[in-house]
Amino acid sequence: MFTGSSGEVTALAFKGKENTIFIGGNTAGYTTGNVTWPLPFGSLIALPTGYDSDRDGNYYPYIVPDIVISKQDNFENLMSDANIQEAVKFIESETSKN
pLDDT at 32: 81
Q: What is the DSSP letter of 40?
A: G
Burial (0-12, 13-18, 19+ Cβ within 10 Å), 31: buried
**CA triple 55-91-98, angle to 5 deg:** 95
pLDDT at 18: 87
Residues 28-44 pLDDT 10s = 888 888 888 999 999 99
Domain ranges of the chain: 6-70
* CA distance linking residue 98 with residue 94, whole number of Å: 7
pTM exceeds 0.75: no
Residues 31-89 pLDDT 10s = 888 888 999 999 999 888 888 888 899 988 888 999 999 889 899 999 999 999 999 99
pLDDT at 76: 94
pLDDT at 1: 42
* CA distance linking residue 52 with residue 31, whole number of Å: 5
Which residue, among 62, 60, 44, has the nearest Cα to 4 in the 3D structure? Answer: 62
pLDDT at 28: 86
- List C-alpha distances in Å: 60 to 25, 27, 32: 14, 10, 10
